[in-house]
Amino acid sequence: MSDDGGVHYEDPFATPAAARSPARRLRGGLAHPVTIWTATGPEGHVGLTMSSVLVADGEPPEILGLIAPTTELFGVLSETGRFVVHVLERDDWKLADIFAGLRPNPGGLFAGLSVEVSDYGPVIRSPVVASCTLVAIETVGYHELVRATVDRVDAGDITDPLVHFRGRYRRLNDK
């Protein structure tokens, strides 16, 4: 992993781009926001970097996210029905890697972070934080589509959001 914002190590066994499925190439051609979702379960705080996220405005607003059913976060939010979404800025890419399991963090995911405990889960420093309540879960492809109401948003100014495009973190003005 380099400090230039790359997400994945070079994998000599990776499927060449031309041999990837059309759906995987389509997904890779879309830019995604990078967020961290957190929740608190019986075993403590859990979290996961999520980039398959969509917000639907309405009354109430809703957030949708695709998550693997095998993740610890999925189990906890399925059980508790509440979670917190943190929108990341460009300088937060190392934190995104930690919560994605790509970078070790001695002491666990939350070690060294200032964490505020809320009724929805742990809140970490982020310019935009949303407190969410689960509405529905539906199997979609290999993932679970989590649909939740956005009960509260603490929104600051995002000047340089972290986005994921073609396996790398990017700036919106990257060429």
Upper half-sphere CA count for residue 139 (Cβ side, 13 Å): 4
Residue at 116 is within a domain: yes
Residue at 175 is within a domain: no
Q: How far apart are CA 105 and CA 154, in angstroms?
A: 27
Helix (H/G/I), strand (E/B), else coil: 95: helix
Contact indicator for 6, 76 with CB cutoff of 8 Å: no
Q: Supply the range of the domain harboring residue 26.
A: 17-170
pTM of the model: 0.86
Q: What is the pLDDT along the chain (175 residues), one digit of tens a residue?
A: 344 455 545 556 667 767 778 877 777 777 889 999 999 999 999 999 999 999 999 999 999 999 999 999 999 999 999 999 999 999 999 999 999 999 999 999 999 999 999 999 999 999 999 999 999 999 999 999 999 999 999 988 888 899 988 888 887 765 5
Residue at 81 is within a domain: yes
Residue at 6 is within a domain: no
Residue at 12 is within a domain: no
- Domain total in the chain: 1
CATH number at residue 33: 2.30.110.10
**pLDDT value, residue 10:** 55
Please provide the DSSP assignment of 69-87 as one string.
TTSHHHHHHHHH-EEEEEE
Residue at 74 is within a domain: yes
Q: Output the six-digit token pair for 67.
A: 């998550």
Phi, psi of 73 (to 5 degrees): -60, -45
Residue at 29 is within a domain: yes
